[in-house]
Amino acid sequence: MDAAPIDSGYADSGYAALAALEAIRRVKYRYLRCVDLKLWDELAEVFTPDATADYGSPATGQPLRFGSRDEIVTFLREQLGPTMITLHAAGQPEIDIDGATATGTWRFEDTVIATEYRVVIKGAAYYEDRYRLGDDGRWRIAHTGYVRIYETMQSLDDVPSLKFTANRWAATA
Write the DSSP assignment of 106-119 as a string of letters: EEEEEEEEETTTTE
pLDDT digits (tens, 9 = 90+) for 93-144: 999 999 999 999 999 999 999 988 999 999 999 999 999 999 999 999 999 9
Name the 3-class secondary structure at 94: strand
8, pLDDT greater than 50: no
What one-letter code names the amino acid at 29? Y
Q: Is the pLDDT of residue 49 over 50?
A: yes
- Over range 40-54, report the average pLDDT: 96
CA distance 151 to 28: 22
Domain boundaries defined on the chain: 8-158
Domain 8-158 coded CATH 3.40.1190.20: no
Q: Using an 8 Å Cβ cutoff, are 115 and 167 in contact? A: yes
